[in-house]
């Protein structure tokens, strides 16, 4: 099955206020299509990192809508995100953090997108019609 959810940024609201709706959307879809538990967790993680990144890093200029589309596959889900905010390629525009640094030198910057890039498959980004289009696949199992 294929379903969409639209997130509209609320001026002044904390970005994380969007999360409960996203989690509920994923869980509803997961129940209808009987997703494996780890597929639910991965899909939630990928969506949280990408959407909070869009909502919190100054890319909300001109942003009026983020459309999330989920399509169930064989032990997988294809996630499509389209937003009309500032152009940003989450696959290339932010370097991966150095995950080998010692404890006191580590910072958390970039870790969310690093998780997404490592965990998801078949990632593709394009900027077209004034919008960011990102598609990726979350898969169950290791």
Partner 1 sequence: MELAQERDAGTNVISPAGRVDGSNSAEFHESLMAALSGDDNRVILDMGGIDYISSAGLRVLLLLAQHLGGNSTPFAVCSLAASVDEVFRISGFNQIITVFGTLDEAKAQLA
Beta strands in 47-112 (DSSP E): 66-72, 76-83
Sketch the per residue contact string, 94 through 133, with partner 1: x for CB under 8 A, - otherwise: -----xxxxxx-xxx--xx-xx--xx--------------
Residues 33-52 binding partner 1 (CB under 8 A) are 38, 41-42, 44-45, 48-49, 52
**C-alpha 88, offset from chain centre:** 13
What are the distances in angstroms from CA 82 to CA 9, 64, 109? 14, 11, 23
Does position 15 interact with partner 1 (CB under 8 A)? The reply is: yes
> What is the phi-psi region of residue 110: left when phi exceeds 0, alpha when psi lies from -120 to 50, beta otherwise?
left
Query: Min. distance of Cβ 99 from partner 1 in angstroms?
Result: 3
Residue numbers at the binding site for partner 1 (CB under 8 A)? 15-17, 19-20, 23, 38, 41-42, 44-45, 48-49, 52, 99-104, 106-108, 111-112, 114-115, 118-119, 142
């Amino acid at each position: 099955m294929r379903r969409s959810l639209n997130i509209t940024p609320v001026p002044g609201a904390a970005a994380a206020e969007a999360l409960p709706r996203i989690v509920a959307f994923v869980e509803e879809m997961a129940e209808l299509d009987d997703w494996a538990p780890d597929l639910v967790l991965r899909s939630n993680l990928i969506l949280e990192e990408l959407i909070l990144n869009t909502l919190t890093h100054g890319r909300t200029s001109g942003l009026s809508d983020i459309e999330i589309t989920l399509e169930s596959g064989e032990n997988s889900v294809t996630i499509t995100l389209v937003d009309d905010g500032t152009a940003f390629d989450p696959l290339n525009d932010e370097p991966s953090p150095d995950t080998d640094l010692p404890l006191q030198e580590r910072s958390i910057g970039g870790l969310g997108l690093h998780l997404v890039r490592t965990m998801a498959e078949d990632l593709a980004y394009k900027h077209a019609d004034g919008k960011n289009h990102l598609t990726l696949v979350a898969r169950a199992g290791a």
